[in-house]
Structure 1
Amino acid sequence: MGARGTAVLSPRALNRALLDRQLLLGRAGLDVVATTGHLFGLNAQSPDPPYLALWSRLDRFTIEDLTTAIETGSLVRSVLMRATQHLVPTADFRLVRPVLSPLLKRVQRNVFGRRTTGIELDDLVTEAAELLSSGEVLTRPELGRALARTRPGADATALGWTVQYLLPVVHPAPSGTWGKRGATPVAAFPDLPEATAGSTREMVRRYLAAFGPATVADARTWSGVSGLPEIFEQLRPELRTYADESGRELFDLPDRELPPADLPAPVRLLPEFDATLLAHADRTRIMADPIRRQVCQGDAVAATVLVDGTVAATWTRDRAGALTVVPLRPLSANDREAIEAEALRLLTFAAPGLAHTVHFGA
């Protein structure tokens, strides 16, 4: 116990709590929309990682399951948390996108402010909304060029990206489906509600349900939203509090029990940018700092292998059906055997019909 009887949670206890909420202690029997809501979004910078993230968490998951949810609009892909592409249920987009508006405006200003100097941004957004109001889907480059026609000399690329940050838009199928790459399509998402303190509080509750127990700094790191200390204070009467071993205050939902810290954790292969690795300011519950520096380099976050619940290796897959594992710490013979078995299962899912091989790099 810490000060005033506050329970102190070890890194391993926090690890098992995170794995439990991220469905990484055992594959679940949920459908893809319910799972994506439970996880509070899947990182979707590239089309394939959401599929691999769900494969690592669900029983009997197929590529068609997720593709159908994207094609029918049950799940939408857009710029959301941390100003990166995420896949979320439609209801969660309506909740989160208004809360993230100040973040996205700040990102536009920081990244494209100079390239849109002299452009009246409110007029730009209004014109873009009119262009998309008919239900027409334009690619981001097409939208930028259309807007540049009435703004001679303007940077069309910067205009297209600016609209993506300032106007609530989604990227409909086939964008974001398995193996589909190319120019990003942009479609309007009408009738989005205004952000309120209530919607921000609900976002924090949902974050804790998916990633708690967590600090205020953790929630900001995950979302990119400022002003969260006040929101946590508003929620304090309804939250449970803990402390970590460094004395930082952790918040959680009162009805969420923590799994035993000694619970076994199976080997799992996570895709690039998996939220499990990115949802906290202090990531030591999932990977040691020396390993984090090898996994997170610049804007890249490698695909990783969890052994006993923490990152032990990175992995890559080629088009010929080979998967290469690069250990980041010593692995026992049993660890390697378990990793190889899980890697072969992943290859059977992702690359059927090919000869599958698993290699361990230096």
Structure 2
Amino acid sequence: MTHVLGRRALNRATLDRQLLLRRSDLSVVDAVRRLAGLQAQTPHSWYVGLWSRLTDFAPEQAAGLLVDRTLIRIALMRSTIHLVTPDDARGLRPLIQPVLDRDLYQNHTHGKPIAGIDMTRLVADGVELLAPKPLTNKDLGVLLAERWPDRAPASLVYAIRNQVPLVQVPPRAVWGRSGPIAHTTIDAWLGASSPSPSSLEWMIRRYLEAFGPASVKDVQVWSGLTKLREVVERMHLQAFQDSDGQVLYDVPQAVHPDPDTPAPPRFLYDFDNLLLSYADRSRVITDDHGRQGYRTQRPAPQILLVDGFTAGDWTVGRTADEVTLTIRPYQPLSNEDADAVVAEGEALLAFLHPDAGSRKVLL
């Protein structure tokens, strides 16, 4: 008989894999590797993702790794920017390429302008132009337009971004600093390298280690790929069911914490992979969360977890004299939970604004 994992069992297993059940002593690099990368669509909010997961995390730790090229930001899963190790970037990017191809050729804005183009030649031009130094999209577009005068420069740039592994370079995303969005090729940034041996089985195993137990559809939502069922089913994986009878897969010998394991409050950032990497997100997301209309809200919300589940959202505001964390719970919190949330919120403000003269948590 297949073992059934209830909602809380799935929740605790997921939080444990995501380093959210308790803070980890892993190094930043090892944590990023363990998580199969962090979505890093915005320049700085992902630092909160590391702070919520690691013991004594300081932003300078991750910033320095970007500068010295130990970590990079590159388009990967779901065609979104992720913070990853170079090895994972080289291993994952070829596997994810069909997602980027689909995004390019079916793109409402750029699909038609690049239709019929000699892509091999365009890619060679992009690699040549980006090799000497990183370029902004505008600057790359100007140079490409000189070679492709009958094509829209923005679409040429978009094609290069999708067809060539491009690193978004510092000072963009370095804590406490700013800079234009500029790219160069992964080989120009890290040095030429032979392709890393990787497979869909390796990618799926990495996903399950960071997000499992999970269904085939969950893997597909995380990666953006389709038609993975045959690959998953031929792998030597544990099989479970959720409460609705859906088959879930996991790596052998995976840890499944007791469903009653305490889960402390955690502040998630706006593009936290925990909220984006499942077809069925009910292991973390509550009905109250679904009623907020977040799918149409911009900017994306920053979410509070209480007892492991979505319980509210949060924003930070600053005046000349004070920094304020405003927490909006979906439902009234118990006194115990409220005290724990405030304590975690005070620690978050100290992390985000250590030099503020005054810090306040509003709940």
- TM-score when normalising by structure 1: 0.92
Distance in 2, Cα, partners of 1:357 & 1:160: 44
Is 1:358 matched up with 2:361?
Answer: yes
Distance in 2, Cα, partners of 1:121 & 1:207: 31
Q: Which amino acid aligns with 2:135?
A: L
Does the aligned pair in 2 maintain the 1:98–1:193 contact within 8 Å? no
Tell me the percent identity. 39
Q: Pick one of 337, 355, 358 that aligns with 1:335.
A: 337
Partner of residue 137, structure 2: 140
* Deviations 1:183-206, CA, capped at 9 Å, x for gaps: 31111113566697x511100000
C-alpha displacement at 1:294, in angstroms? 2.4
Partner of residue 154, structure 1: 151
Aligned 1:82-121 pairs, distance under 5 A: 82-111=78-107, 112-117=110-115, 119-121=117-119
Partner of residue 66, structure 1: 62
Aligned 1:27-66 pairs, distance under 5 A: 27-66=23-62
Is 1:8 matched up with 2:1?
Answer: no
Over 3 Å counting, the alpha-carbon distance change for 1:106 and 1:49 in structure 2 is: same
Q: How many equivalent pairs are there? A: 352
Is 1:186 matched up with 2:183?
Answer: yes
* Deviations 1:132-173, CA, capped at 9 Å, x for gaps: 233x11112211221111222432222222211111111121
Q: Secondary structure at the match of 2:327?
A: strand
* Deviations 1:106-152, CA, capped at 9 Å, x for gaps: 10112210233453332211100111233x11112211221111222
Distance in 2, Cα, partners of 1:311 & 1:90: 32
Extract unaligned runs of 5+ from structure 1: none
Q: Which amino acid aligns with 1:302?
A: P
Q: Which amino acid aligns with 1:155?
A: A
* Deviations 1:208-257, CA, capped at 9 Å, x for gaps: 0000000000000111012211210221xx21110001111000011112
Distance in 2, Cα, partners of 1:114 & 1:183: 28
Does the aligned pair in 1 maintain the 2:304–2:310 contact within 8 Å? yes
Q: Secondary structure at the match of 1:186?
A: strand
Distance in 1, Cα, partners of 2:150 & 2:333: 57
Q: Greater shift after overlay, 103-112 or 261-270?
A: 103-112
C-alpha displacement at 1:359, in angstroms? 1.6
Q: Pick one of 347, 350, 353 that aligns with 1:348.
A: 350
Q: Greater shift after overlay, 79-88 or 148-157?
A: 148-157
Q: Secondary structure at the match of 1:261?
A: coil
Q: Which amino acid aligns with 2:161?
A: Q
Is 1:315 matched up with 2:314?
Answer: yes
Distance in 2, Cα, partners of 1:299 & 1:336: 26
Q: Greater shift after overlay, 319-328 or 75-84?
A: 319-328
Q: Secondary structure at the match of 2:84?
A: strand
Partner of residue 75, structure 2: 79
Over 3 Å counting, the alpha-carbon distance change for 1:183 and 1:228 in structure 2 is: same
- TM-score when normalising by structure 2: 0.92
Q: Secondary structure at the match of 2:19?
A: coil
Q: Which amino acid aligns with 1:77?
A: R
Partner of residue 270, structure 2: 272
Distance in 2, Cα, partners of 1:315 & 1:179: 21
Partner of residue 219, structure 2: 219
Q: Secondary structure at the match of 2:328?
A: strand
Is 1:200 matched up with 2:196?
Answer: no
Does the aligned pair in 2 maintain the 1:94–1:193 contact within 8 Å? no
Does the aligned pair in 2 maintain the 1:141–1:183 contact within 8 Å? no
Does the aligned pair in 2 maintain the 1:295–1:302 contact within 8 Å? no
Partner of residue 284, structure 2: 286
Distance in 2, Cα, partners of 1:61 & 1:81: 25
Q: Greater shift after overlay, 204-213 or 108-117?
A: 108-117
Distance in 1, Cα, partners of 2:297 & 2:184: 26
Is 1:252 matched up with 2:250?
Answer: yes
Q: Which amino acid aligns with 1:216?
A: V
Q: Secondary structure at the match of 2:292?
A: helix
Extract unaligned runs of 5+ from structure 2: none
Does the aligned pair in 1 maintain the 2:170–2:179 contact within 8 Å? no
Q: Greater shift after overlay, 290-299 or 66-75?
A: 290-299
Q: Greater shift after overlay, 163-172 or 283-292?
A: 283-292
Over 3 Å counting, the alpha-carbon distance change for 1:24 and 1:91 in structure 2 is: same
Does the aligned pair in 2 maintain the 1:137–1:186 contact within 8 Å? yes
Q: Which amino acid aligns with 1:215?
A: S
Q: Which amino acid aligns with 2:229?
A: P
* Deviations 1:254-313, CA, capped at 9 Å, x for gaps: 111200000000011111110111111000000124413527413854111110000100
Distance in 1, Cα, partners of 2:199 & 2:76: 15
